[in-house]
């Protein structure tokens, strides 16, 4: 690393229920190093944050970078969070982390400014700065996994909302009489267009004697059907599998249309594990969204696949840290 880059690095950390991802980002937006450690959440926050700081230091050492060359660290986890005080308020995936002053512990240990944000918001910020939303100042990011998460960037800033939760686009109602969602509501986007929703629709199809290839791939057992099975069956030409993915895509499109009408974004970025089947989902989603949303808003809006993959949260955290220190 040459001298001009020194002192211009930021670190990004994404704390998930299973693992903690770390990245180092230089001032040109290049990821110069990254690593991953187990969260081991049950052992509590203190040991995890201690191991995180060790991992961060060894990442610097591995690239011959001194600790003082790191300017700031951004850190993301699932909320709700007290953003201003840097405290985890509730932690569904991290038992025992409630009330942990993450920012204070890491600032003391690393002696650099530390900024906490919601993980989905940081993933959206990463896509906005360095991914599929690059060049757009207003970006909506949707992540299709078991559930549906998301983040909203307005005029280049994260929309944090109450308790850092930002937006929860997975729980906007798409069909008032639709399937029951994990949140208790009916017809949420998450209940219609997530990987779990795709799997549920496929299980129903198999039980009704449809989806022959889905059933074959699952060895005849409806319990073994997941979104991946549906995707594979669709690739093999199973018309029911294709229809299920298209239905999920159309529900997604309704959700996107609603969000376009509220936020008038330049770019809608769609990522997450279910986007492996994006070929079957994104086109119907686009068609539905562009048909439903206000024409004034759809002109010039791009609906595109995410680019940063599972590192989006950590990369976004590093971008966010850089963004925040410029404001200090
Ligand atoms: Zn819901």
Q: pLDDT tens, 114-129?
A: 999 999 999 999 999 9
**Which CATH number does 135-307 carry?**
3.30.420.40
Domain 3-126+311-326 has CATH 3.30.420.40: yes
C-alpha of residue 2 to centroid of ligand 1, in Å:
50
C-alpha of residue 119 to centroid of ligand 1, in Å:
19
What's the token pair of residue 32?
Answer: 């110069």
With both helix axes pointing from N to C terminus, report the angle between 278-292 and 239-263 in degrees, rounded to the nearest 10.
40
Helix (H) or strand (E) holding 239: helix 239-263
151 three-class SS: strand
C-alpha of residue 216 to centroid of ligand 1, in Å:
31
pTM (2 d.p.): 0.93
C-alpha of residue 89 to centroid of ligand 1, in Å:
21
User: In the block, which residue shows the tokens 């002053």?
Assistant: 101
C-alpha of residue 176 to centroid of ligand 1, in Å:
11
pLDDT band at 273 (very low <50, low <70, confident <90, very high): very high
Residues with Cβ–ion distance below 5 A, ligand 1: 171, 181, 183, 185, 188
Q: Provide, rounded to the nearest whole percent, the portion of the chain with pLDDT above 90.
A: 87
pLDDT digits (tens, 9 = 90+) for 65-118: 998 899 999 999 987 899 999 999 988 778 889 999 999 999 999 999 999 999
C-alpha of residue 194 to centroid of ligand 1, in Å:
11
C-alpha of residue 172 to centroid of ligand 1, in Å:
7
pLDDT band at 8 (very low <50, low <70, confident <90, very high): confident
Asked if the domains at 3-126+311-326 and 135-307 fall in one CATH topology, the answer is yes
How far, in Å, CA of 227 to CA of 198, rounded? 6
| Domain positions in the chain | 3-126+311-326, 135-307
Residue 192 has pLDDT above 60, yes or no: yes
C-alpha of residue 191 to centroid of ligand 1, in Å:
7
C-alpha of residue 190 to centroid of ligand 1, in Å:
6
């Amino acid at each position: 690393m040459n001298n001009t880059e020194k002192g211009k690095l930021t670190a990004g950390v994404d704390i998930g229920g299973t693992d903690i991802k770390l990245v180092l980002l230089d001032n040109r937006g290049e990821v110069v190093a990254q690593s991953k450690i187990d969260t081991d959440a049950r052992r509590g926050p203190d040991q995890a944050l201690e191991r995180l700081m060790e991992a961060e230091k060894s990442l610097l050492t591995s690239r011959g970078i001194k600790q003082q060359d790191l300017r700031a660290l951004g850190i993301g986890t699932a909320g709700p969070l007290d953003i201003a005080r840097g405290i985890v308020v509730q932690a569904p995936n991290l038992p025992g982390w409630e009330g942990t002053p993450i920012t204070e512990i890491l600032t003391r240990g690393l002696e650099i400014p530390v900024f906490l944000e919601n993980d989905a918001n940081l993933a959206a910020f990463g896509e906005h700065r360095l991914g599929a939303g690059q060049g757009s100042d207003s970006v909506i990011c949707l992540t299709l996994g078991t559930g549906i998460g998301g983040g909203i960037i307005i005029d280049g800033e994260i929309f944090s909302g109450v308790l850092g939760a930002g937006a929860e686009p997975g729980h906007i109602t798409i069909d008032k009489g639709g399937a029951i969602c994990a949140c208790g509501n009916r017809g949420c986007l998450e209940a219609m267009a997530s990987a779990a929703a795709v799997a549920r629709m496929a299980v129903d199809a198999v039980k009704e004697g449809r989806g022959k290839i889905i059933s074959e791939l699952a060895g005849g057992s409806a319990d073994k059907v997941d979104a991946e099975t549906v995707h594979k069956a669709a690739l093999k030409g199973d018309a029911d599998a294709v229809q299920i993915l298209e239905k999920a895509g159309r529900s997604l499109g309704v959700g996107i249309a609603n969000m376009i009408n509220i936020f008038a974004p330049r770019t809608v970025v769609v990522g997450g594990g279910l986007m492996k089947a994006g070929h079957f989902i994104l086109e119907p989603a686009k068609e539905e969204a562009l048909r439903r949303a206000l024409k004034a808003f759809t002109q010039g809006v791009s609906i595109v696949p995410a680019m940063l993959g599972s590192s989006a949260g950590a990369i976004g955290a590093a971008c966010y840290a850089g963004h925040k220190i410029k404001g200090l």
